[in-house]
Each structure stands twice: as structure tokens, then as C-alpha cells.
Chain A
Amino acid sequence: MQRPYWNPYLAGVGLGLTLLFSYAVLGTGLGASGGITRLAASAAHAVAPAAVEQSPWLGSYFADGSPLAYYLVTMLAGTLLGGLLSAAAAGRVRVTIERGPTAGAGLRLGLALVGGGLAGLGARFASGCTSGQALSGGAMLQTGSFVFTGACFAAAFAVAPLVKKEW
């Protein structure tokens, strides 16, 4: 039996206190896309080491050894683990393809892959995602973070009617 989600204001304040703790102790905010980029870079490096090391940007991740020995990677692992602990305690772990009643599994998985690609690319253009830019930059009142967040929600609202069938 699944327990109900917590009140969004309570969860938001809890998330804000986690972000505050991160700034106070780590000296930086939350981040998720950076860890994914580093995982992808090391996977690519395992397949084609020379090509990755020659890339000016990806190569810089390998200058001081493994790109995985970095706080963003362990933070991502912690995020997964924290999510697992919470979901398990609430009886919410279930292997499934989440989609609306009219969406096929193939459509849902295909759009998840393409959407992930666009989000991953966008996060690198913006040097951050909803964690590093919207939440963390926003909490430090950064203009660029507000621009990112506004653009993100404007684009999502504009495109939403096209993918309504998915949900």
C-alpha cells in the first residue's frame, strides 16, 4: 500500500534546508547534471579513450585522474539512495514504465530518451539544471539562474500540448 506524498510546502522547506546545509558545509549548492556528465564521460572514455582525451572539454575531466572522484558524482549517488530509502519506506518502489492511459510503452520510452538528450544538452549550455541553476543559483539570487528557470518553464508550457498524449 502506497502512503500519500508529503505536503509540498513541508517538502520544499526540507529541500531548502538541505540546500542551505550544502552551501554552509560544502560551500556550493545542489547539482545533478554534472554527475551525469561525468558518468557519461567515463563511459565514453572506457570505449574510446583517445577520442575523449583529445576533446578539449571532455579531456579536461581526465587531467587529474578519474572524473568520478568528485563531489557531484557522490551527490548523485546519494540522491538515488535517498530517493530509494524514502520510496521504500512509503511502499512506492515498483518496476514500471510510467505513462498515461493512452500512451504506449514505446512512445513513452522513446520520448524519455529524446527528452533526456535535450535536457542533458541544455544543462551543458546553461552550466546546470533545475538543481544547480534553478534551485541553487536561484537561492543565491543569480540573474542567469532566473533566466534559465523562466526559459525552462516557458518552453515546457509551450511544448506541453504536443506531448499531452504521453501523460
Chain B
Amino acid sequence: MNLYANDLLAQPIGLLLAMLVGLGFGFWLERAGFGSSRKLTAIFYLHDFAVLKVMFAAMATAAVGLQLLGGLGYVDLDALYVPESILWPQLVGGLLFGVGFVAGGWCPGTAAVGVASGKLDAVLFLIGAGAGSLAFAPLQTSFADFLHAGTCSVGSLPAQLGVSGPVGAAALLVVALVAFVGATKVERWMQRRSQA
């Protein structure tokens, strides 16, 4: 049984193991080059699709791994904490977040890696992100109904489509592989264009 299901995430064992997970998280982000805001935002100008490649590779690896471990009985997929699907606030939150991402040059996790790499703009981004979080406090009351708009009783896309989890993970893997091919084609095309 995992720590979340045993209510241990605020206990010393949870704090320690989460820090260990964070070490791995920060390490891989930095190795990928995501301690650089210019590298992160290059995708939005079609120069460098590392963000897409890393994200899809990570999602597909974890999705396939989770379905495997779940199927073999090593992980109880029903005992995991999974964010609820609440479509309208997630749509609006995503739009706000995307504008902040390209204007600020970071997302919260990569900004932590940016700070570690000495980037002063990452420090400002994190201060802004803290302030933006606090600004949600008064809105949380005024948008109380909106924050539940589009709540899905079943949050998983494969379940909504009536297919199994493993089929969903396999589909995500296929989408990722197609995206890798497409992204590489666009990168090559942009390279040729800039040399011409």
C-alpha cells in the first residue's frame, strides 16, 4: 500500500521520500535542458521540440508502466491520488497558465531548476507564482460554482470512452510516437529554412 492511501504524506517518511522523488524530478528536468527558459520557450517558435519530446516520453513511460504494474498486481491503481477532472476551471486555468508559461519563460517545476542554475528571471517567476496563488484566495469564493463546472463523475478518458486502461496507455504511446516523428520533421524543416 502506498503512503497516500495510508495518510502518511505529511509524516516524516512521506516528507523524506517526496524529497527523494523531487531529487529525481529536478535532475531529469535539468539534464533535458529545462534549467533554461530559452530552451523551454523555443517550442513556441518551432525551433526545438525538446519540451514535447520529454513530456510525451515521460507521460507514455509512466502510463504504460502504471498499467503494467497495475495489471501485475504490484500497484493498486484505485488507491492512487489522481486529480479530479473538472473541465471548465481546468480549461481556463490552462489558458492562463499557458500565457504565463510563454511570457514568464518557466513553469513552476522548471523555475525551481532555473533558480538552482542561477537564473534570476526564475526567481522573479517563482515570486510571481506565489503572488498569483495568493490572488486565487478571494476568487475561490466568488468563483465557487465555476470551480465545479464540468466535474466528471469518471475522470479517466479511457473509462469515459468505454475502453480499458491498458488500451488507453497504448493509445497514448502511439500518439507520442506520431508526435515525435512530426516534431522532428518540423525541426528539420525550420533548420533548412533558416539555412536557406
Contact B152 A144 (CB under 8 A): yes
Contact B93 A167 (CB under 8 A): no
Jot down 27 A-B pairs with beta carbons below 8 A, ordered by A.
A9-B180, A16-B60, A19-B61, A24-B2, A26-B2, A28-B2, A29-B81, A36-B130, A37-B133, A70-B10, A70-B15, A80-B22, A81-B19, A81-B26, A82-B25, A82-B29, A112-B105, A115-B104, A115-B125, A119-B107, A122-B97, A125-B96, A126-B90, A131-B25, A141-B156, A143-B85, A151-B98
Task: Pick the most buried of A36, A90, A94, A146: most chain B CB atoms within 10 A of its CB.
Answer: A36
Q: Which residues of B contact A46 (CB under 8 A)?
A: none
Using a CB–CB distance below 8 Å, which chain B residues touch chain A?
Answer: 1-5, 9-10, 14-33, 35-39, 41-42, 44-45, 49-50, 53-63, 65-66, 69, 74-75, 77, 79-87, 89-122, 124-141, 143, 147, 152, 155-158, 160, 165, 168-169, 172, 180
Main secondary structure of the interface of B (DSSP, over half): helix
Task: Pick the most buried of B5, B17, B54: most chain A CB atoms within 10 A of its CB.
Answer: B54
Query: In the complex, how many residues of chain A place their beta carbon closer than 8 angstroms to a beta carbon of chain B?
Result: 123
Q: Which residues of A contact B109 (CB under 8 A)?
A: 30, 32, 79, 129-131
Q: Which residues of B contact A132 (CB under 8 A)?
A: 83
Q: Which residues of A contact B21 (CB under 8 A)?
A: 18, 21-22, 25-26, 30, 75, 78
Q: Which residue of A lies closest to B111 (CB)?
A: A116
Task: Pick the most buried of A40, A127, A134, A141: most chain B CB atoms within 10 A of its CB.
Answer: A141
Contact B104 A116 (CB under 8 A): yes
| Given known A-B contacts A20-B65, A82-B26, A98-B121, A76 and B112 have beta carbons under 8 A apart | yes
Contact B112 A122 (CB under 8 A): no
Inter-chain CB contacts under 8 Å: number: 540
Q: Which listed residue, B15, B49, B74, B116, touches A74 by the CB 8 Å rule?
A: B15
Q: Which listed residue, A69, A87, A98, touches B38 by the CB 8 Å rule?
A: A98
Q: Which residue of B lies closest to A120 (CB)?
A: B132
Q: Which residues of B contact A14 (CB under 8 A)?
A: 24, 27-28, 31
Contact B45 A118 (CB under 8 A): no
Q: Which residues of A contact B42 (CB under 8 A)?
A: 167
Contact B31 A154 (CB under 8 A): no
Q: How far is the CA of A48 from the CA of B63 in the complex (A)?
A: 43
Q: What 3 A-B pairs are tightest by C-beta distance, nearest first?
A: A115-B104, A78-B22, A12-B57
Contact B99 A159 (CB under 8 A): yes
New A-B contacts (15) at CB < 8 Å, excluding given A5-B31, A19-B61, A55-B137: A8-B49, A12-B32, A12-B61, A14-B27, A57-B141, A71-B3, A71-B10, A82-B25, A114-B100, A115-B100, A120-B132, A125-B93, A130-B108, A133-B83, A156-B102
